Amino acid sequence: MSLDQSGGYPLRRNNSCSAGESVCGRTWGTFHACCPGNFQCLDSNSTKIKNFICCPDQLNCTDVLAEHPTCANTSWDLYNSTGYFCCEPKHAGFSVEGTFSVGCLDPGAARNLSYNALIPSSTGAPSTTPTSTSASTPTSSLDAESSTSVHSSRNNTGAIAGGVVGGVAGAAALIAALYFLIRYRKRQQPQQQSQSLTPPSSLPGYALEKDASQPKEIDDRLMVAELSESGGHSGNVRYELPTAS
């Protein structure tokens, strides 16, 4: 329940006021005017308003209500017939035909044929008092958002970690492939060089042909000797024929 601390108009209740409410008195028939607790009831004998009003702390709030009519409880609905009065939400305000009497019907109550339904001058605001259900709802919502945020954060972390591991593995595989390729090429180069330096004579089926026209050295055993002074000669010495005179 939200009270208007500047004062306001009271409820019209059938039979009696509720416990804790200030009873302003019976208005007509079985209807009474009721103010919130700790509010005083003022009637037309002590105010300029020809009706009951509710003022806080023994103060006269007549001038305030004359300029700004409102209910003593901001959750109530304000009605006006021959004067202002208030009804609780879902209660229907009415006036009695041919009189100045007004009242509030309980939900589902039978309507008398002499009752004229009234339209609220202003409707009350919903009660701002938090309930256990409404108080727990934001907490549950925050918990759900927190859980979703943590789950999303974990998923993002896992995806990033997976991407990093995959990238490292791919780089390692590439480096290993390059390493084995370089080693293979280094092993092939010496073999190719050794094959290119092998002389043809060492190849199978290859034989050097002897050139018959190649000049030969004179046998060491054949020697040209000069004529000895003694006129002797050796069996192997050749003489030149004398020339004709």
Backbone angles phi, psi at 176, to 5 degrees: -60, -40
Residue extents of the structural domains in the chain: 11-117
| pLDDT at residue 11 is higher than 90 | yes
Query: How many residues are present in the chain?
Result: 245
Q: Which two tokens stand for residue 242?
A: 């004398």
- Bridge partners of 132? none
- The amino acid occupying position 105 is L
In this predicted model, what pLDDT tens digit does every residue of 88-142 receive, in sequence order? 999 999 999 999 999 999 988 888 889 999 999 999 877 554 444 444 444 444 4
**What are the b/e assignments for 97-124, b being 16+ CB within 10 Å?**
eeeebbbbbeeeeeeeeebeebebeeeb
Closest to 4 (Cα-Cα) out of 67, 77, 75, 63: 75
d(CA 237, CA 30): 184
Residue 120 exposure: Cα atoms within 13 Å on the Cβ side: 18
Tokens 């330096």: give the residue: 197
The most confident of 38-42, 140-144, 149-153, 202-206, by mean pLDDT: 38-42
- The amino acid occupying position 108 is G
d(CA 3, CA 57): 13
- pTM of structure: 0.51
Q: Which two tokens stand for residue 160?
A: 């990033």
d(CA 26, CA 235): 187
Q: Report yes or no: 11 and 31 within 8 Å, Cβ to Cβ.
A: no
Q: 189: pLDDT confidence band, cut at 50, 70 and 90?
A: low
Q: Which pLDDT value is given to residue 204?
A: 52
Q: Which pLDDT value is given to residue 141?
A: 45
Dihedral-angle region of residue 41 (phi above 0 means left; psi in -120 to 50 means alpha; beta otherwise): beta
Q: Regarding predicted confidence, which is higher, 173 or 216?
A: 173
d(CA 222, CA 98): 179
Backbone angles phi, psi at 69, to 5 degrees: -60, 135
- The amino acid occupying position 163 is G
